[in-house]
Amino acid sequence: MKRSRFSPEQIAKILKDYENGTTTEELCRV
């Protein structure tokens, strides 16, 4: 699995969304 799939900005946004209560299932759909 390549890590280059996400930019640092995308990772930061995903982590923020996760902290805000977004489910892992929703995050994987992004």
Q: At which residue do the structure tokens 């969304």 appear?
A: 17
Task: Tell me the pLDDT tens digit for each residue of 9-26.
Answer: 988 988 888 788 877 777
Q: Terminal CA-to-CA distance of the chain, rounded, Å?
A: 17
Position 2 scores a pLDDT of 59
Position 16 scores a pLDDT of 87
Q: Which pLDDT band holds residue 3 (cuts at 50, 70, 90)?
A: low
Asked whether residue 30 carries a pLDDT value surpassing 70, the answer given is no
Mean pLDDT on 3-11: 81
Where are the chain's structural domains?
Answer: 1-30
Return d(Cα 1, Cα 4) in angstroms, integer.
9
Asked whether residue 1 carries a pLDDT value surpassing 70, the answer given is no
